[in-house]
Structure 1
Amino acid sequence: MSGTVMDAVMAELSALEEPKMREANEKRGDDHGVNLSRLRAVAKRLKTQQELARELWATDDTAARLLALLICRPKAFEREELDAMLRQARAPKVQDWMVNYVVKKSPHAEELRVAWTADPDLVVASAGWALTTERVAKKPEGLDLSGLLDTIESEMSDAPDRLQWAMNHTLAQIGIEHAEHRSRAIDIGERLEVLKDYPTPANCTSPFAPVWINEMVSRRRGA
């Protein structure tokens, strides 16, 4: 990729920087001030450019890395490269987009899911649980759902925030998608009380697993 193109993209990202947005994002650990709608517009114009995506990622700049994840070719990354990229990702938004926009579309997703879920790095483990939630919903065949509930029951209460959130999502997804495990999932949620008091805006579903499960099941039955 010519330096001219790379320099132009970085200059455009710099021009899109908004101090007030950076201040708000930094409270969540995301050190950038670019409006994500504008970032997506840049990505739409650039389209898929794998080489440029790699160069943007290498800058270690959060906005540049978010753009890289939007214009990359997910299936072009090797397993080891994806593993290294997740460990390099500092900002929560970068971690989330990497899992959702890249790893989930990779042929290495299942292998990484298994490895990451057991990783001692708690951010990496949370990515593994995010991939597990995806499998619970879309391809549960072969998953030990009872075993997952055992792990959630014993470990979720003491898990740090990001990992706890990811495990809670898996718990809720098991209860929503699998009627045979629903009562146990609700019971675990009620006893652990994880996210029970999480502030939830009006017209939004609480992340507290028993409420979340019952709400989604009710909606489906009413559909």
Structure 2
Amino acid sequence: MAEQARDQNGSRLTERGRATRERILRAARDMMYVKGIAATTLDDVRAASGTSKSQLYRHYPDKDALVRDVVELQAAEVLERHHQLLRRLNSFRGLERWRDVVVERNALQNGAYGCPLGSLASELADQDEEARKVIARHFATWEGLLEAGLVRMQDSGVLRPDANAKELATGLMAALQGGYLLAQTAQDVQPMRIALDMAIAHVRTYAAPAEDGRVPEVGALGR
């Protein structure tokens, strides 16, 4: 049986209580993504979520507790989205389709605000060691989704056996995060697309030649 949700005092939450906490958390997530953690106050969150002070402090007695849950929410949503994009990745076309989806999603806001998880890391990594470790684990999971896809490409004969899937996944993740930052600064997703294109081009240097000398394309993402 699933553990029932509880407030910060350990009391079980009613359905109404769970809805209130969810409203607070999502309001905080949206504000911290746009304004940043430091610029978002508990009063801001209370006003945006339409909750009273007593409701807010029942669920989140301090900002640190709220930030921890925001990190978990952002990570869960980012990882689920990329899991859906990458769970059947086994081709170069699949990598290109993943690139297209992340670039097009970021283009909806002209690159503003950066990566939902990376923006939290940039504020917390040097200020909160525990938060840094948590975010690092989430990034490792994210990178692992890419690595698993690259391993499938090796298993399918698309990549050579000597390709280091872990290192290539790190390169793709670095291009993605660097692309987010450049797009945020330029308010234009073109630098992000260029960074990912170059990372994918590097992966292509490990393509396994087919008998006719052409690069094999086995499967595709999301079919």
**TM over 0.5: same fold?**
no
Would you tell me which structure has more helix in proportion to its own residues? 1
Q: Which has the larger radius of gyration?
A: 2
TM-score w.r.t. structure 1 length?
0.27
TM-score w.r.t. structure 2 length?
0.27
- Ranked by relative contact order (alpha carbons within 8 Å, sequence separation 6 or more), the top structure is 2
